[in-house]
Amino acid sequence: MPLLALALIVIGAVGLIVVGILNRPQIGSNGEQIYFTATSQRGTPIFSDMGMGIMGGGMIACATCHGPDGRGGRVQMMMRSFVAPDIRYKTLTSEMMGQAEGEGHPPYTDETIKRAITQGVDPAGKPLEWPMPRWTMSTEDLDDLVAFLKTLN
């Protein structure tokens, strides 16, 4: 019986590894890599006011809070819960973006999206909520990240 139990454990572990590999996003563009890993294909440094992409022993990147599809949702972080907003480009640039949520700001543009990422402010210049890190990266990496946001549906 112990041999059967060991075999079942091994089979289960292998299954979990295979599922993890199959569900891992395949990274294509540099913007996609930045979104999922907070690292650049160029090897240029990317860090936030929370550190070099490290938080609580794990990586933090855009996808950590906003999800693989950019739609956001409820996130538990540092013993607090918050709702990460939908950051798909079509949502951010919608005329209803700020008004629908009662935020009272104009729609985002490429430049104001970049300011939100690097300075943590909305299009009206008001600070974003506490969990939003302020990211530092090269202009090229920032352009690539915004280009990737445009691909999220």
* Residue 18 included in any domain: no
* Residue 17 included in any domain: no
* Residue 3 included in any domain: no
* Residue 85 included in any domain: yes
What digits encode the pLDDT tens for the residues 1-46? 677 756 556 565 454 444 444 444 567 999 999 999 999 999 999 9
The amino acid sitting at 144 is D
Residue 62 structural domain: 26-149
d(CA 116, CA 126): 10
* Residue 20 included in any domain: no
Phi, psi of 81 (to 5 degrees): -120, 145
What digits encode the pLDDT tens for the residues 88-100? 999 999 976 655 5
Residue 56: pLDDT band (50, 70, 90) is: very low
Looking at the 3D structure of the chain, how many domains does it have? 1
Q: What is 99-116 written as a DSSP string? A: HHTT---PPP-HHHHHHH
Q: Is the pLDDT of residue 68 over 80?
A: yes
* Residue 97 included in any domain: yes
Contact assessment for residue 92 and residue 108, using Cβ atoms and an 8 Å cutoff = yes
In this prediction the pTM is 0.75
